[in-house]
Homo-oligomer: A and B are copies of this chain.
Amino acid sequence: MMVSRVGSPWSRALVECVPNFSEGRRPDVMDAIQTAAAGVDGARVLDRHADATHNRMVLTIAGAPGPVAESAFRATARASELIDMRQHDGVHPRIGATDVVPFVPLGATDMQVCVELAVRVGRRIAAELDVPVFLYGEAARTSRRRRLPDLRRGEYERLASEIGSDAQLTPDFGPLRIGPAGATAVGARRPLIAYNVTLATGDIEVARAIARSIRESSGGLPAVQARGFLTADRNVVQVSMNLLDTRRTPMSTVFERIAREAASRGVSVVASELVGLAPAEAVVDIAREALRFGQLDAEAILETRLLEQALGG
């Protein structure tokens, strides 16, 4: 039997980049940044989300690692020309014209690919744009810089006044001074999943108690944020979650834990709900658990393989 396959394994890595820019009001500036991002073969700008109150724009770029890195850099460069942080206000915390550049692995791509991209793009932003860069998330070099809220404390204004004097504020790359473009956090992270579980009770205290018992900040499950919510239907309440890393805590584990906690209070689970999208990997994890697949990852999904070939090929 003679078999030939179009494409090869090394061309398979796929990443997403979701850079956040401190401009959500001026359409011409947002268009210019998006246009800069869109000009790279092999990287696609799949989504643009802007918010005037936050005064912030988020682009979603996907493709092979090299082109996505180039696209993210070009958008960052354009933002540094067009946005002056001294004029910026908005309710969302921020440190720079390009506030944060997260790289996210898609399909079965290894996190290490995204960590390396973050380092490469971070170094280039510092060198070519003269902007201080902080590595965060999986790319962080100290545990104090893993979480964005820690990095953003005091925001642009604090950095502008203290970057030269406070050793904690020394960037991973770039100058010890802040210009109009501010600073940029560049990092790597897993895709976020917004996941809700609906409970067959109108008692909000049940949802709150379960949320408390499962969220990481109260000593619950790793990489899980949770709150209890009322819904439009008075007969049910929801545990509303952000799953920050389903490698550490899979959705099945979250669901089973909630079902057990609810059962211990005499309450049953009505349904699960996904808000927005989930990566193939997280859904495959559920299937692997449910049907006891020995091995099963996102590479087993037809659409993931097609995507790798369509974007990476």
- Using CB atoms and an 8 Å cutoff, list the residues of chain A in contact with chain B: 1-7, 14, 16, 24, 44-53, 62, 106-107, 191, 198, 251-252, 255, 269-274, 277-280, 283-284, 286-287, 289-296, 298, 300-307, 309-311, 313
Partner of A311, one of B1, B3, B310: B310
* A280 near B294: Cβ-Cβ < 8 Å: no
Q: Which residues of B contact A62 (CB under 8 A)?
A: 306, 310
Partner of A292, one of B272, B284, B303: B272
* A302 near B274: Cβ-Cβ < 8 Å: no
* A290 near B287: Cβ-Cβ < 8 Å: yes
* Bound complex: CA A269 to CA B49 (Å): 47
* B306 near A294: Cβ-Cβ < 8 Å: no
The verdict on A51 contacting B290 (CB below 8 Å), with A303-B106, A310-B310 known, is no
The verdict on A251 contacting B283 (CB below 8 Å), with A6-B46, A49-B3, A302-B191 known, is no
Partner of A306, one of B2, B24, B106: B106
Chain B residue at minimal CB-CB distance from A191: B302
Q: Which residues of B contact A198 (CB under 8 A)?
A: 294
* A306 near B311: Cβ-Cβ < 8 Å: yes
Chain B residue at minimal CB-CB distance from A46: B309
* Bound complex: CA A45 to CA B306 (Å): 10
* A50 near B4: Cβ-Cβ < 8 Å: yes
* A302 near B286: Cβ-Cβ < 8 Å: no
Partner of A301, one of B3, B6, B303, B305: B303
* B303 near A303: Cβ-Cβ < 8 Å: yes
Chain B residue at minimal CB-CB distance from A48: B4
Q: Which residues of B contact A53 (CB under 8 A)?
A: 1
The verdict on A279 contacting B292 (CB below 8 Å), with A45-B6, A48-B4 known, is no
* Bound complex: CA A97 to CA B4 (Å): 21
Partner of A107, one of B44, B107, B303: B303
Partner of A287, one of B6, B283, B309: B283
* B309 near A294: Cβ-Cβ < 8 Å: no
Q: Which residues of B contact A280 (CB under 8 A)?
A: 280, 283, 301-304
Rank and list the top 4 A-B pairs by shortest CB-CB distance, nearest first.
A290-B290, A286-B287, A271-B294, A307-B307
* B269 near A292: Cβ-Cβ < 8 Å: yes
Q: Which residues of B contact A14 (CB under 8 A)?
A: 303
* Bound complex: CA A284 to CA B278 (Å): 11
Chain B residue at minimal CB-CB distance from A38: B6
* Bound complex: CA A46 to CA B2 (Å): 16
Q: Which residues of B contact A255 (CB under 8 A)?
A: 290-292
* Bound complex: CA A191 to CA B306 (Å): 14
A218 to chain B, nearest CB (A): 23
The verdict on A273 contacting B294 (CB below 8 Å), with A44-B309, A306-B307 known, is yes
